[in-house]
Amino acid sequence: MTRVLVTGASGMLGRGVAERLVADGHDVRTLQRSPSRVAGVQDVAGSVTDPDTVRSAVRDREAVVHLAAKVTITGPFAQFEEVNVGGTRLLLDEARAAGVGPFVHVSSPSVAHQGRSLTGAGAGPADPEHARGHYARTKAAAELLALAAHEPDGLRVIVVRPHVVWGPGDTQLVGRIVDRARAGRLPVLGDGAALIDTTYIDNAVDALVAALHADAAVYGEPYVVTNGEPRPVVELLAGICAASGVPMPRRHVPAVLARGAGSLLDAAWRTLPLPGEPPLTRFVAEQLSTAHWFDQRRTREALGWTPRVGLDEGLARLATWTARQASATAP
């Protein structure tokens, strides 16, 4: 049994990791701003930016899985920096002081994405200067902090970058696709042929747990995690829409036009008091119109991990979950 702290356990991936660790018999404490709703954990309510809260959460822990982050599409850069960079720095400092060994830092492939296609790519170095958007830039800076803190005989840091995680109940990718499709605002950018790899939620959870228990020799490096099943973006969108019972995208918008519109909308939301999220951002337009899939051989060898839920099975599970939700809410 290992005493583990999981931050960000109110999110889909963090909750899944905490649940898996409890099921495996570990002593799990969670830290997040809202309740994790995970049975069998010690919940600590608070922010990773608060020194007293972080110190209390890390006390007596042997390992940390750090998922807490500001992941919204919009917001002032300072807010992203405070949580993603400042929170990571504080957690690393307190973890080192508490004698933590394994520290799994959850990052994103966007930290090394500069808007160009990535085909069969490796992890690549995090690049805060050229990463796209506030989230990616601050996550890149946080990843560099985490790797710099790695000590083979002390705080051992491994970085895992799950790519486009989705599954039943997902409010980030699936939720946004469903909302836009239902409102008739889900176009295909370009010809929709760009290959995109994704990660089904159970596979992402498995990978993070595997990283926690991986050989110390593979620590100190970043690893991208995906299903290893790149599909054309139009096929992926259609599959999620079909499984969720919403209209499939049929309208095509030129990629160049979408990126330009995304830049204008980014500027509008930065300068005007506009509510909610913009209908499109430059980052999202780039993600939906360029290829991004990754060579998984290094990751699978290092973590001793392979995906157990294929993309098609994941879509079938999403369809089953959607049907159950509809049945439960039917009059």
Q: How far apart are CA 310 and CA 53, in angstroms?
A: 39
Rounded to the nearest 5°, which phi and psi values hold at 215? -60, 140
Residue 65 bridge partners (DSSP): 6, 104
Q: Which of 3.40.50.620, 3.40.30.10, 3.40.50.300, 3.40.50.720 would CATH assign to domain 3-163+199-226+296-308?
A: 3.40.50.720
Distance CA 18, CA 205 (A): 9
Q: How far apart are the first and last CA of the chain?
A: 46
Structure tokens at 190: 């370009």
Catalogue the active-site residues. 135
As given in the structure block, the two tokens for residue 28 are: 């799990």
Question: Which residue carries 């998984």 as its tokens?
Answer: 296
Band the pLDDT of 32: cuts 50, 70, 90.
Answer: very high
Q: Tell me, what's the pLDDT at 306? A: 96
What pLDDT score does 5 carry? 98
pLDDT at 51 over 80: yes
pLDDT tens readout for residues 165-186: 999 988 888 888 888 888 888 8
Residue reference for tokens 């009059």: 331
Higher pLDDT, 70 or 92: 92
Q: How many alpha carbons lie under 13 Å from residue 15 in its C-beta half-sphere? A: 13
Between residues 11 and 113, which one has the greater pLDDT? 11
What pLDDT sits at residue 330? Answer: 66
pLDDT at site 30: 96
Q: What is the mean pLDDT of the chain?
A: 90
Q: What is the pLDDT of residue 52?
A: 95
- What are the pLDDT digits (tens) for 309-330? 999 999 999 999 999 887 777 6
- pTM equals 0.93
Question: Domain locations in the chain?
Answer: 3-163+199-226+296-308
